[in-house]
Structure 1
Amino acid sequence: MAKIEDFSVGPLDDGQLKKARENIRRERSAGSDKPLSVAIMGQTGVGKTSLLNSLFGTDLAVGHVRPVTRRPEPVSVAGTSRHMLTFWDMPGIGESDAADETHLAMYLERLIHCDVAIWACHADSPSTAYDEQCLRRLLDTVAIETRRLIMSKLTFVLTKADVLAPPPWIFDMRGDRGTFGPGGALLRRLEEKAAYYESVFLEPRADLLLASTYGTGEFTVSDERLGFDRRGVHYRGYFSQQVCDTYSERYPAHREVFSRLRDNHRVLPCSALFRFNLTRLMTGVVNRLGPSAVFRFRRLLQEVEELAEVPVSTARTYGNLMIWDGERGTKAFDLAEIPL
Structure 2
Amino acid sequence: MLNVLFGTQLPVGDLKPVTGKPHAISVPGNTGHLLTFWDMPGIGESEAADASYLAMYVARLAEADVVIWAVHADSRATTAETRCLNRLLEDAGPDLRRQVVAKLTFVMTKADMLAPPPWIFDMRGRRGSFLPSAPLAARLDQKAAHFEKALIEPWGEVLRASTYNTGEFAVSDERLSFDRHAVHYDGHFSEEVRGAYVAAYPEHAGVFSRLRDNHRVLPCSALFRFNLAPLMVNVVNKLGPTAVFRFQRVLDDADELAEVPVAVVREYGNFVVWDGVRGVRLSDLSRSPL
Q: TM-score under structure 1 normalisation? A: 0.83
Match for residue 167 of structure 2?
Answer: 217
Match among 65, 71, 90 for residue 115 of structure 1 = 65
Structure 1 residue identity aligned to 2:129: T
| Distance in structure 1 (CA, Å) of the matches to 2:277 and 2:8 | 46
Match for residue 179 of structure 1?
Answer: 129
Matched, 1:77 2:27: yes
Structure 1 residue identity aligned to 2:91: T
| Distance in structure 2 (CA, Å) of the matches to 1:219 and 1:310 | 38
Q: Where does 1:116-135 land on structure 2 (aligned, <5 Å)?
A: 116-135=66-85
SS of the equivalent of 1:208 reads coil
5+ residue gaps, structure 1, are: 1-50
| Distance in structure 2 (CA, Å) of the matches to 1:237 and 1:309 | 36
Deviation at 1:324, TM superposition (A): 2.4
Match among 238, 249, 259 for residue 288 of structure 1 = 238
Match among 234, 239, 253 for residue 303 of structure 1 = 253
Match for residue 41 of structure 1?
Answer: none
- The 8 Å contact of residues 166 and 181 in structure 2, kept in 1 or not, is answered as no
Match for residue 10 of structure 1?
Answer: none
| Distance in structure 2 (CA, Å) of the matches to 1:151 and 1:222 | 25
Deviation at 1:103, TM superposition (A): 1.3
| Distance in structure 2 (CA, Å) of the matches to 1:166 and 1:55 | 26
SS of the equivalent of 1:189 reads helix
| Distance in structure 2 (CA, Å) of the matches to 1:123 and 1:171 | 20
Deviation at 1:305, TM superposition (A): 1.1
SS of the equivalent of 2:184 reads strand
How many pairs were matched up?
290
| Distance in structure 1 (CA, Å) of the matches to 2:280 and 2:25 | 46
| Distance in structure 2 (CA, Å) of the matches to 1:73 and 1:329 | 52
Match among 251, 267, 274 for residue 224 of structure 2 = 274
SS of the equivalent of 1:306 reads coil
- The 8 Å contact of residues 11 and 18 in structure 2, kept in 1 or not, is answered as yes
| Higher Cα Rg, which structure | 1
Deviation at 1:328, TM superposition (A): 4.3
1:16-59, Cα deviation, whole Å (9 max, x unpaired): xxxxxxxxxxxxxxxxxxxxxxxxxxxxxxxxxxx101111111
1:225-263, Cα deviation, whole Å (9 max, x unpaired): 011013300000000001101111111111101000000
- The 8 Å contact of residues 111 and 150 in structure 1, kept in 2 or not, is answered as yes
Structure 1 residue identity aligned to 2:3: N
Matched, 1:244 2:194: yes
Match for residue 337 of structure 1?
Answer: 287
Tell me the percent identity: 60
- The 8 Å contact of residues 319 and 336 in structure 1, kept in 2 or not, is answered as no
Q: Which runs of 4+ in 1 moved over 4 A?
A: none
Structure 2 residue identity aligned to 1:307: L
Match for residue 106 of structure 2?
Answer: 156
- The 8 Å contact of residues 93 and 104 in structure 1, kept in 2 or not, is answered as no
| Distance in structure 2 (CA, Å) of the matches to 1:252 and 1:112 | 36
- The 8 Å contact of residues 168 and 182 in structure 1, kept in 2 or not, is answered as yes
